[in-house]
Amino acid sequence: MDQTTLLAYDAAAQAFADDWHAQPPPADMYALVKRFFAPGLTADIGCGSGRDVAWLSSDGYRTVGFDASEQLLAQARARYPELEFATATLPELAGIADASFENVLCETVIMHLATELIAPSVRRLMAILKPGGILYLSWRVTEGTDQRDRSGRLYAAFGSELVLPVLSSSAILLDEEVVSASSGKTIHRIVARTG
């Protein structure tokens, strides 16, 4: 995780959490999850303040939320004390065993990584899936060069050419660029199934 981005999330965790929870639910993403995810243990990598962990859990997916920001995790635990959250940072995801999950959700997270860490991060996301497991991966599309917002969060400029080679031994079930129903930003999303 880009350290300036992590510091930004830690410094203003409650404000970010309040903003995310005030946004409309990401109905388009939830529809894809229902379409592609299999029953079973699910990981939300970059879970933030836990909104999607709560939805997944309420929809029958036993879910663990992971994030690099201790302050965002504190927000998640305060909002959803009955749910499970833990610290983990891309690309290593230390403490998460290979082949642990049926499904992995990584929604608009990898754009906060330095470009050279994106492929290793996607490789690690696939590694924590069981055979036949499903990865939902998305990132905010940034044109031109890397950018930072007013908070200092990194938005890396990259395309699917960094991601798809890592998934070459997987089945690509979805590959599209859309405007997010929740944030109104252009995102690229891929759904892949491990071999």
CATH number for the domain including 90? 3.40.50.150
How many structural domains are present in the chain?
1
Confidence category of residue 43, pLDDT binned at 50, 70, 90: very high
Q: What percent of the chain has pLDDT over 90?
A: 94
pLDDT of residue 183: 79
Question: Would you say residue 40 has pLDDT above 80?
Answer: yes
Token digits for 194?
Answer: 């491990």
Q: Are 63 and 53 in contact (CB under 8 A)?
A: yes
Query: What is the average per-residue pLDDT within 42-46?
Result: 98
- Nearest 5°: phi and psi at 141? -80, 125
**Which of the pair, 180 or 78, is modelled with greater confidence?**
78
Q: What is the torsional sign of CA 166, 172, 176, 180?
A: negative
Query: What is the average per-residue pLDDT within 111-131?
Result: 98
The CA-CA-CA angle for residues 55, 158, 170, to 5°, reads: 60
Confidence category of residue 9, pLDDT binned at 50, 70, 90: very high
Query: What is the average per-residue pLDDT within 6-24?
Result: 95
- Mean pLDDT lowest among 3-7, 8-12, 23-27, 48-52: 23-27
Mean pLDDT score of the chain: 96
Question: Would you say residue 153 has pLDDT above 90?
Answer: yes
Alpha-carbon radius of gyration of the chain: 15
Q: Which domain holds residue 120?
A: 3-193
Question: Would you say residue 1 has pLDDT above 90?
Answer: no
Burial class (CB in 10 A: 0-12, 13-18, 19+), 88: buried
